[in-house]
Structures are given as structure tokens and as C-alpha cells.
């Protein structure tokens, strides 16, 4: 009998303690929810499979992995061109990893051409890595802001002509 009264006493205390424990826990998931909102662009990459042909431009604030063919410009945060992929157009991303083929200009803060890469076009970059075995035909230019520097390439040529 006294056990019922003791069970009843600790029960409400335990229940009170549990909501207290639960109360700090929900704000953490709520904070994680706000963090998750910020993480949404870091969700799984958009993958274009090897049997897919896209005619048109692609633009994403997230990551794109291309395994098929794209005929158009591609803008992304992280762009991975797979070994079986071909992109015909301009590629613009913070990070560009080329394992396949790109026919067109590549602009990125970090550009990496792996040993299986084939690039026909100019590369404008902040940092670049070209592995042994990569095929590259074009010019390479370093810029502090290659993403906004599309119009900066012709600008230096026109400034000396004006001066």
C-alpha cells in the first residue's frame, strides 16, 4: 500500500522530470529544423542518368551529377560530370569535377579534371587540378572571381585599347 503512494509520488516527479528533459530536447530539434532548412541545398544531388538527354539549360543552388548528355548551360553549386556524360555548353559551379566530356567553357572556383576527363574549351578558375591522363584543349585563366568573371575576360583587352 505504501508502495502505491511511493509509486504515485515518484511517478509524477518522473513525469515532471520527463517533460523537463523533453522540453530542452524539442528546442534542439527545432534548432535542427532551422539548421535543416539551411541544409536543404546540401540534400542528395540531382542525378541525370546515363540514358537521359537534356536539351536546355540547367540551374540549381544544389549539387548536380550528370551521367547522361546535356545540350545547354549548367549552373550548380557542385557539378560532377560522370565518365559516361557529355555536356555541350557552358559549365558554371563553385566546384566542378569532370570525369567525362565537356565541350564548352568551364568556370568554377575549384575545377578538377580527372584522368578520364575530356574538355574542349576554356577553363576560368580560382584553383585547378588536372590529373595525368586528362585530355584538355583550350586555354586556362585564373581569376579571383571566376563565377562573376564572364564579362571580365574581354574587359582587360578593351581597357588597353582605350588607353
Nearest alpha carbon to residue 103 among 85, 80, 78: 85
Task: Render pLDDT for 106-120 as a digit per residue (tens, 0 to 9).
Answer: 999 999 999 999 999
Q: Would you say the pTM of this structure is higher than 0.85?
A: no
Does the pLDDT value for residue 16 go beyond 90?
Answer: no
Chain centre distance of CA 85: 17
Distance of CA 123 to the CA centre of its chain: 18
Residue with cell 524539442: 26
Given this model, what pLDDT does residue 91 score? Answer: 97
The region of weakest confidence among 41-45, 86-90, 140-144 is 41-45
**Least confidently predicted of 49-63, 126-140, 149-163:** 149-163
* pLDDT at position 86: 97
Mean of the pLDDT values across residues 122-148?
95
C-alpha cell, 75: 549552373
Please state, in angstroms and rounded to a whole number, the distance separating the CA atoms of residues 13 and 18: 8
Please tell me which residue, 46 or 156, carries the higher pLDDT value: 46
CA angle 99, 140, 105 (to 5 degrees): 60
Q: Which helix (DSSP H) or strand (DSSP E) does residue 123 occupy?
A: strand 123-130
Better-predicted residue by pLDDT, 46 or 42: 46
| Start-to-end Cα distance in the chain | 101
Cβ atoms of residues 58 and 64 within 8 Å = yes
Interval 71-84 mean pLDDT = 96
What are φ and ψ of residue 50, in 5° steps? -65, -20
pLDDT of residue 44: 85
* Residue 139, CA distances (Å) to 73, 90, 98, 124, 153 in order: 19, 14, 16, 8, 12
Amino acid at each position: 500500500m505504501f508502495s502505491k503512494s511511493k509509486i504515485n509520488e515518484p511517478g509524477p516527479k518522473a513525469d515532471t522530470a520527463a517533460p523537463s528533459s523533453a522540453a530542452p530536447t524539442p528546442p534542439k530539434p527545432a534548432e535542427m529544423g532551422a539548421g535543416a532548412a539551411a541544409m536543404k541545398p546540401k540534400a542528395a544531388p540531382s542525378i541525370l542518368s546515363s540514358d537521359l538527354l537534356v536539351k536546355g539549360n540547367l540551374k540549381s543552388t544544389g549539387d548536380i551529377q550528370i551521367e547522361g548528355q546535356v545540350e545547354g548551360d549548367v549552373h550548380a553549386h557542385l557539378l560532377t560530370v560522370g565518365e559516361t556524360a557529355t555536356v555541350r555548353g557552358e559549365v558554371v559551379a563553385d566546384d566542378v569535377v569532370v570525369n567525362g566530356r565537356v565541350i564548352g567553357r568551364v568556370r568554377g572556383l575549384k575545377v578538377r579534371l580527372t584522368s578520364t576527363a575530356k574538355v574542349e574549351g576554356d577553363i576560368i578558375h580560382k584553383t585547378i587540378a588536372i590529373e595525368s591522363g586528362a585530355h584538355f584543349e583550350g586555354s586556362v585563366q585564373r581569376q579571383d572571381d571566376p563565377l562573376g568573371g564572364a564579362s571580365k575576360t574581354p574587359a582587360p583587352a578593351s581597357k588597353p585599347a582605350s588607353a
